[in-house]
A and B are shown apart, each in its own frame.
Chain A
Amino acid sequence: MEYTTYIQSLLEESIKIQNRTKEIAELDITLLKARPNKDAWNILECYEHLWYYSSLYGKNMKSAIHKAPALKQDFPVKHGFMGGKFIKMMNPDSAGKIKKMNTFKSKNPFQFKLEKDSIEKFLQSNEETIKICEEALTKNTFKVKSQTAIPMLRLKLGDALGFIIGHNTRHMLQIEKCLSNALKT
Chain B
Amino acid sequence: MEQKNPKAFTSSINPLEVFKEIEWKALELKRGDFLIKAGQTEKYLYYVVSGALRAYTYVDEEEHTIRFGYKNSIIAAIPSFFNEQPTDIYIEALRKSTLYRAKKIDFEKVMQESVKSLSYYNALLKDLIATFYEREIDILQKDPAKRLKRVLERSPQVFQEVPHKYIAAYLRMSAETLSRLLNS
Contact = CB atoms under 8 A, between A and B. Distances in A.
A179 B38 contact: yes
Interface residues of A, number: 14
Interface residues of B, number: 15
Interface of B: 37-40, 57-61, 63, 86-90
A183 B87 contact: yes
A177 B61 contact: yes
A176 B38 contact: yes
Nearest to B40: A23
Given A20-B37, A24-B39, A27-B39, A180 B57 contact: yes
A29 to B, nearest CB: 13
B175 to A, nearest CB: 9
A31 B38 CA distance: 11
29 contacts: A23-B37, A23-B39, A23-B40, A24-B39, A27-B39, A27-B86, A31-B39, A36-B60, A36-B61, A176-B38, A176-B58, A177-B58, A179-B38, A179-B39, A179-B88, A180-B38, A180-B58, A180-B88, A180-B89, A180-B90, A181-B58, A181-B88, A183-B38, A183-B39, A183-B86, A183-B87, A183-B88, A184-B57, A184-B59
Contacts, number: 39
A64 B142 CA distance: 58
Of B58, B86, B89, the most chain A CB neighbours within 10 A belong to B58
A183 B86 CA distance: 8
A27 B85 CA distance: 12
Nearest to B60: A36
A179 B90 CA distance: 11
Contact of A176 (B37, B40, B59, B86): B37
Contact of A184 (B39, B61, B63, B88): B88
A20 B39 CA distance: 10
Contacts of A176: 37-38, 58, 90
B87 A37 contact: no
B51 to A, nearest CB: 21
Nearest to A184: B88
A177 B39 CA distance: 12
A31 B87 CA distance: 12
Nearest to A100: B61
B89 to A, nearest CB: 8
A20 B40 CA distance: 11
